[in-house]
Amino acid sequence: MDEQELTKPWEGVLITPDVIGHTGVLVLAGSSGRVDRERARILAQEGMTALSIRWFGGPGQSPGICEIPLETFVSAVDLLESTGVHRICLLGSSKGAEAALLTSVHDPRVDGVAAMSPTSVVWGNVGSGRDGRDRPYRSSWTWKGQPLPFIPYDDDWTAPEPADGPVAIRGWYERSERTFADLLPAAEIPIEESRADVLLVAGGDDAMWPSLPFAERLVARRGTARLISRADAGHRPRLPGEGPAPESPRFLYGGDAAADAELGAAAWPHILDLLRG
């Protein structure tokens, strides 16, 4: 495999397999903001050209997930297209899944989306924008300079866990949807407008946000979307070849290493089928 380090217009890595296939995949991590090299390498081992980028928190980027232009991902699709691939897919996790689904709605070149631990709505910002402010809440995303309609967070919510340890914040999202129920219709991701094949992967024990109910709502909007789930898996399914996700001092993710790996293993052949087309 050949790994090319990228520095402009964003940090990232482009991995070309030894035997080049017809699929290019944009890999989007979640709110860690990291370049997901491990997952990109696994895909390249399967014969796919894999690109993973830092889409916030890098040089010249918003420090938080605040009004991130979806054009960021369109530019990444441009790069994948320039490599000569014939099928372009997005593989995103958590906030990266939110970005992937929205990009497929706005960019008809996207042929497939694998969304792991997805949301069915656009959420408010996570962290500050370029101006350094994190309040009042703003959309996570923009398109053509306009913020997408979103659900803000209800700051009256309090975590049930002790404040000195990692917390489960799923209840924050569930309460915010109830508090701002009137905003839900406009904030729904219109996945029915995407021409991409859609695969959703979600765990029923997700402690970060209710990704399985979100996924079920996406299927209700887009009947052809496929859903792979496991009741005891959490927010971070692990694909074959990936090690267990590291523990966090701040958040509980639900599931456990075994259940998360089993969900990833169950989803893996379906992900490969979607990516290969």
CATH for 244: 3.40.50.1820
Question: In terms of Cα–Cα distance, which of 157, 181, 182, 176 is closest to 167?
Answer: 157
Asked whether the whole model's pTM tops 0.95, one would answer yes
Question: Looking at the 3D structure of the chain, how many domains does it have?
Answer: 1
For range 134-140, the mean pLDDT: 98
Q: Which long-range contacts does 18-23 make (Cβ < 8 Å, 24+ apart)?
A: 19/47, 20/47, 20/49, 21/46, 21/47, 21/48, 21/49, 21/85, 21/276, 22/85, 22/86, 22/87, 22/277, 23/47, 23/48, 23/49, 23/85, 23/86, 23/87, 23/88, 23/89, 23/275, 23/276, 23/277
Tell me what pLDDT residue 246 has.
Answer: 85
Domain range enclosing 241: 2-276
Measured between alpha carbons, how far is residue 145 from residues 130, 131, 165, 243, 254 in Å?
14, 16, 39, 39, 36
Taking the chain, what is the end-to-end CA distance rounded to the nearest angstrom? Answer: 22
Q: What is the pLDDT of residues 74-108, one digit of tens each?
A: 999 999 999 999 999 999 999 999 999 999 999 99
Q: Of 46-55, 127-136, 209-218, 237-246, give the lowest mean pLDDT range.
A: 237-246
Task: Say what percent of the chain tops pLDDT 90.
Answer: 91
Q: How confident is the model at residue 163 (pLDDT cuts 50, 70, 90)?
A: low
**pLDDT higher than 70, residue 262:** yes
